[in-house]
């Protein structure tokens, strides 16, 4: 496999995908067209508008972008694609749409064949085993929480440390993930903004500018540095 699962598309103050530029040149090496999956975006921007945003960035890498929604037969489009990119937004909406269109399994099969895959945020969540560690609001009811399982764990994108100054009784991100572990026997990668997971062949590493926080059943959470194997 040849995939990147990134915490976010955009760093604070940065421009779209810019911090991943060098990685994306490596990921999409030899590719001149990719299929973009815009289904996570619930509002403010249409599927066409969202695809256009991706298209403008990938133009600078010499890669053409087609939105999967532009094809009459989306399954055929996935099978014919050279590579994929799934943008962020709402994971519930993304997972619901992929299951309902019969694309979740098909996408997994195509990525498992070695086609490059980039996910950002919600698009990274679907690379995990299931979407049970998303931060998103359950604005729609998906027929299943199961995802592609490209990696043998779950991700928590946009991982955020507790704010000790906040006078609020909502749960912290760490509390939420610990709650997940009371109900599920599965490792969770707390992926801070600036970090991504890189799987190339069978090797899985975490990369980026920040430490990464790992949550495992029966263990205290711990941190690993960029370049660590997962």
Binding site for its own copies (CB under 8 A): 8-13, 42-44, 89-90, 92-93, 131-141, 144-145, 158, 160, 163, 167-171, 176-184, 193
Shortest distance, position 85 Cβ to its own copies, whole Å? 17
Identify the active-site residue in 47, 99, 158, 228: 158
Q: Catalytic pick from 7, 9, 69, 136?
A: 136
Q: How far is the CB of 119 from its own copies (least distance, A)?
A: 15
Q: Closer to its own copies at the Cβ: 105 or 175?
A: 175
Identity of the residue, 117 or 136, whose beta carbon is nearer to its own copies in the bound complex: 136
CA gap 215, 18 in Å, rounded: 29
Say whether 158 is catalytic: yes
DSSP string, 150-205: SSSSEEEEEE----TT----SPPHHHHHHHHHHH----EEEEETTEEEEEETTEEE
99 catalytically annotated: no
Nearer to its own copies, 85 or 136 (CB): 136
Please say which residue, 1 or 191, places its beta carbon nearer to its own copies. Answer: 191
Dihedral in degrees, nearest 10, Cα atoms 27, 15, 130, 39? -100
- For this structure, is 163 an active site residue? no
Q: Provide the 3-class DSSP secondary structure of residue 111.
A: helix
d(CA 218, CA 65): 44
**3-state percent breakdown (helix, strand, coil) of the chain, nearest 5:** 30, 25, 45
CA gyration radius for the chain? 17
Query: At closest approach, how far in Å is the CB of 157 from its own copies?
Result: 8
Question: Known catalytic residues?
Answer: 121, 136, 158
């Amino acid at each position: 496999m040849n995939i990147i699962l990134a915490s976010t598309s955009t760093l604070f103050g940065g421009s779209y995908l810019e911090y991943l530029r060098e990685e994306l040149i490596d990921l999409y090496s030899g590719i001149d067209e990719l299929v973009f999956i815009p289904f996570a975006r619930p509002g403010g921007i249409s599927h066409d508008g969202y695809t256009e945003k991706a298209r403008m960035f990938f133009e600078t890498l010499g890669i053409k972008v087609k939105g999967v929604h532009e094809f009459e037969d989306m399954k055929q489009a996935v099978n014919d694609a050279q590579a994929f990119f799934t943008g962020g937004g709402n994971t519930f909406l993304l997972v619901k749409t992929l299951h309902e269109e019969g694309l979740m399994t098909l996408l997994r099969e195509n990525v498992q064949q070695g086609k490059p895959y980039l996910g950002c945020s919600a698009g990274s969540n679907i690379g995990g085993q299931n979407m049970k560690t998303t931060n998103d609001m359950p604005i729609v009811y998906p027929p299943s929480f199961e995802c592609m399982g490209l990696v043998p764990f779950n991700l928590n994108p946009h991982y955020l440390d507790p704010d000790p100054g906040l006078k609020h009784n909502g749960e912290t991100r760490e509390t939420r993930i610990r709650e997940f572990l009371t109900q599920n026997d599965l490792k969770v990668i707390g992926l801070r903004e600036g970090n991504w997971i890189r799987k190339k062949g069978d090797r899985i590493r975490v990369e980026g500018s920040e430490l990464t926080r790992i949550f495992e059943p029966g263990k205290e959470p711990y941190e690993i540095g960029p370049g660590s194997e997962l």
